[in-house]
Amino acid sequence: MTYEELIVKKGGVTPQIIPSAEDTALVLIDMQNLATAENIVREAVAVGIDEEEARQLCQTYHKMERAATEKAAKLLAVCREKGIRPIHVKIQSYAGDASDTGGLHKRLNFQCPPTSWEAKWIPEVAPKEGEVVLVKTCSGAVVGTPIERVLLGMDIKKCYCVGFYTDQCVETTVRDLADCGFACELVLDATATETEKRYNNTIENICNVYCASGYTDEIIEKLRSL
């Protein structure tokens, strides 16, 4: 047995969520144009990188981003059907000139005025009328939005989490929700980040510590039985 195997074995496995319409939500994090491969290309061109070269280099992330979006959309459809409430979170300023953007996001150029292309939802996972929409100008939804109060008001105790980027806003949100007492499950094939290395590091860091983990199809199978 290696030291790493010992650490995993002594920690055990965090049990997956047993969902119900009464106490479970689907939290969709930053599923917006800002997190797409197309935006990376735009940012690359803006600093003088050749567009064709940028598109070529972004192919792997584009595939990961599209695959995660398709899985999230599939899960979202079943959650809606079964009464699991979607909570949509995105990066967006309140001020039209994005002057209220948090310091970290200003440095990273994550500035998304309400009418900007970057702030627009990815169509497949866009909110429907009446669904909860929360906006933030920092990485974590708990610090940046009233999500904790919203979930408590709805008597939500369990959260499936999907979205972008796995190692940034998703990880921060999962950690903070867990610290607030919510049982979280990260949907492994419905989240992505800019590199596979960063994705894998995050999964190792937070799964079976701050959250359980599962895949879209197995979660849908549970939801179908509700």
Whether pLDDT at 123 is above 90 = yes
pLDDT for 12: 82
Q: Which domains does the chain have, with CATH numbers?
A: 12-224 (3.40.50.850)
Residue 79 has pLDDT above 90, yes or no: yes
pLDDT given for residue 154 in this prediction: 98
Report the 10 Å Cβ neighbour count for 25.
23
CA dist 151 → 25, 31, 72, 96, 209 (Å): 8, 19, 20, 28, 21
> How much of the chain is helix, strand and coil, in % rounded to 5?
45, 20, 35
Full-model pTM:
0.96
**Whole-number pLDDT of residue 8:** 80
